[in-house]
Every structure is written in C-alpha cells, then in structure tokens.
Amino acid sequence: MRLWPRKLWLQTAVMVFVVVVITQVLTLSLLGHFRMQIVRQQGIELARGYLIMAHSALQSMSPEELALRLNQQAQLLPVSQTQAAVKLVYQPSSQVQGIGDAPVGVTLLYRHLQQEWGINNVKISAAPHSALLIRVQGDWWLQMLTITNSQRSIITDILPWLNIGLLLLAGIIALFVRHLVRPLLVLEQEVVAFAQGKNPEPLTTTHGTIEIRRLADSIHHMMADLRSHEQERRTMLAGLPHDIRAPLTRLRLRLALLDDTDVVAFEQDIRSIEHIADQFIGYLRGLDNNSLKKEHFNLNELLSELVTACRQTGKSIALSLPDEPVFVLADALMLRRAVDNLIQNALHHGAEPVRLNLTNNVLTVEDSGQGIPTHLRDQALEPFAQLASERGNRGQVGLGLAVVKQILAAHQLEMRLGDSELGGLKIEIPLKVILKPL
C-alpha cells in the first residue's frame, strides 16, 4: 500500500502541512515548558510561605489542641489559591513512606523544605495520593495533597481550536498548491496531445510562476521546431516516390513498345522500384495519426480475406480463428495494410508455411524461416533497417515492419517479436485496446 502521494501538488501540500504541524507542536511544547517552570516556581514559593506560616502556628499548640483541630478536619488554606489541600494529620513515623512518584513541583518544594527543617521532618508519601508531610511535633504532620490535573488544563483547552486551525490551514495549503501546480497539469495535457499527433492550443504562459512560464515557452518552441522538421521530412519523403513514379511510368510505356525477351528483366526492376515507392507512401500514411478513420468491423473476416488472397497465389498459409467473431474499432484499411505487411514479411524474409492465429484477443503471425536474433529485433522495427545485404536487391528498403509499427502506434497497439515453434519469427499483437466494447 502506497501512503506517499504521487502527485506533485499533494506531495507539496503534505510537506508544508507536516512542517507547520511540527512547528506548532514544538512551539506549544516550548511555551508549555517555560510556562510550567514559571508557574511551578511561583507555586513553590507561595506554598512554601503558607506551609512555614501554618507550621509556625501549629507548632505552638499543645497535643490536645492539635487533636481537637484534627477532629474538626479544618483546612488551613483555600485549595483554589495553592492548588493543594493543606490539613493536619496524625500518622506514626513508621508508616510514612519514601519519596514515591511525586510531581516535579512537589519534589522541588520537598528539597527546599528539607534544607530548612531537616530530612527527618519533611517526607513525601505516594499513597493513596502524592502528599507532602511536614512534622509539626511528634507524630503530628502538616499534609499537602497535590492536585496535578490542572497542569495540562491549558493544552486541553486549546487543543480543539488547534485542530480546527490545522484543518483550515490544510485546506488553504491544498488550494494554494493546487493553483500553483495547475499550469503544469495543463502543460502535461498539451504534451500528451502533441505526442498523439494532435495540434493542441499552446498553453497561456501568463499564469503560474516564472519558472513554469519559462518551461512552457521552452516546450512550445521545441514543439514548433519538431512540427517544422516533421513537415519538412514528410514533404521530402512524400515527393520522392511520386518523383520516382513519373519516369517509371514513361519507362514502362517505352518497354511496352519493345519486342524483346529482355523486357521481362526490365519489368521486374520496375516492379521493385514501384514497390519501394509504395513502401514510402505506406510509411508516410502510418505516420499521419489524423488520417485514421475508425469503424467497427469483424477482424475474422479481414484475416480470412487476406489469407485467401495469398493462398490463391500458391502460398502456404494456415489460419486459426475463434468460433465467435472478434469485432474491433480501428481503421480497417490501415489495419489491413499492417497485417498484409506482416504476411508479406513472413513470406519474403522468412519461409513457408506461414501461420496466422487469433486466440485470446492476441493476433500472432509466425513463419518457418531463420527468425531474427534477439539483439537485432529492436533494430528490425526501425525505418530503413537492413538486416540482410541482399534485401536491397529485392525491392526492399527496410520499411515493412516500420510501417506496421507506425500503424499499430496510431491505434495505441504494439507488437512483440519472439521465436516461433515453426523455427522462424513470431510476432504477437495484443488487441485489447481496440476491441469493440460490448
């Protein structure tokens, strides 16, 4: 269980609140400590004066007068003034206990009085209540019962107000930090939208701190540069295949007018060049996320059509589909192009038989070739990747898997490369993201 929040504004609010609480606790502790020292010292001096006065008055009485005073249970001093009940008691010296667990104030008073009347004439008893005993004469003692509950009365009184204040302070801190972090949240949404190929409106940089505004300005300049570079790259790549197709068309017309057996070789080269141009165009279409035209369709039917078309050309392809149709929400044309590229990649760079399998909402394409080594699999997904020197002679420029990767990324999908039981490459594509909700 994660107790520490992950959001920046919550972390900041918690840290500020904890610092404030610790400061409040330390402040109250110090104030309480110094106050108790002052009150204790004043109480000691006051109690000492009263005890000395009472002791002097009682010491001059006879035992009979002391017994009469004991029977009357008269209190010599008001409790509200001294925070202690002072009265005369008769208790044999053998029953007087030791210092016991007495409060600090009583202990200090005990030490002061011991210096004046001696160790044998001043005692502290802890049972049943902490009491200070001063010998009047014989077994007659002047007893002071301490009252300790009032020592914490101030903390008890202000604690509810302190809790209310801390709650209000926590709310104010949360609102302030939330307002402080809000521009970052908006900036995050803008960056996410930009990464998805959208053109979000720039964040208004007049809000937030100077650092946030500078960060927003830097990100906007970076986005503008990336858009410019991407547009230039697309323009260059888009023009290249069209520039190639124009002379190829003229060349094909001229070859049609020739009557020569060598024309077949020329036509094969022309088809290879056209295939390269088609790869460029397919790659560019995969980069354009805004061109997606999503619709609901039956993926089983799409796979069956592609496999049937390949089988008609004499290719050996196995297809395994679930009994129930699998409906997805995607661009049917682009997804068809991606699956077709995977099949053609398995046929050209792998070996027959090729196997397509749709199980547990995962599409798998396997071939019987030599596969791709583990350390080259990431490279195989990059544009213009050439894993074999002979591929360039077969009308390939390394865009097959790159096109598939771009199309899947536009649908928030990904593919995993592994080893097939057939001996070649296995490509898995989880389809959970694009499944049609029931």
Q: Is residue 312 part of a domain?
A: yes
d(CA 201, CA 238): 27
209 and 337 together in one domain: no
Q: Is residue 409 part of a domain?
A: yes
- For the whole model, what pTM was predicted? 0.47
Q: Is residue 194 part of a domain?
A: no
Per-residue pLDDT of the chain (438 residues), as tens digits, is 556 666 766 777 777 878 877 887 777 777 777 776 776 666 667 666 767 777 777 777 777 776 676 666 544 444 444 445 677 777 776 666 555 445 555 666 777 777 777 777 777 765 556 677 777 777 777 777 654 444 445 556 666 777 787 788 778 877 777 777 777 778 888 888 877 767 666 655 556 677 777 888 888 888 888 878 777 776 766 666 666 767 777 777 777 776 665 666 667 677 777 766 766 666 666 555 556 788 899 999 999 999 999 999 889 999 999 989 999 999 888 899 889 989 988 988 888 899 999 998 899 999 998 888 888 888 888 776 666 544 444 545 566 788 888 888 888 899 999 999 988 999 999 998 788 655
CATH number of the domain residue 314 falls in: 3.30.565.10
Q: Is residue 179 part of a domain?
A: no
Q: Give, in degrees to the nearest 5, the angle at Cα 18 between 14 and 24.
A: 145
Using the structure block, give the residue that is written with the tokens 């002679």: 393
Task: Give tens-digit pLDDT for 82-120.
Answer: 445 677 777 776 666 555 445 555 666 777 777 777 777
d(CA 49, CA 42): 11
Which domain does 413 fall in, by range?
Answer: 288-434
282 and 296 together in one domain: no
Within a 13 Å sphere around the CA of 313, how many CA atoms are in the beta-carbon half? Answer: 9
Q: Is residue 149 part of a domain?
A: yes
131 and 210 together in one domain: no
422 to 286, 315, 357, 372: CA distances (angstroms):
30, 16, 13, 13
d(CA 385, CA 339): 19
* Domain end call among 238, 270, 287: 287
51 and 135 together in one domain: yes
126 and 54 together in one domain: yes
Q: Is residue 160 part of a domain?
A: no
Take residue 229 and report the two structure tokens written for it: 């570079």
CATH number of the domain residue 16 falls in: 3.30.450
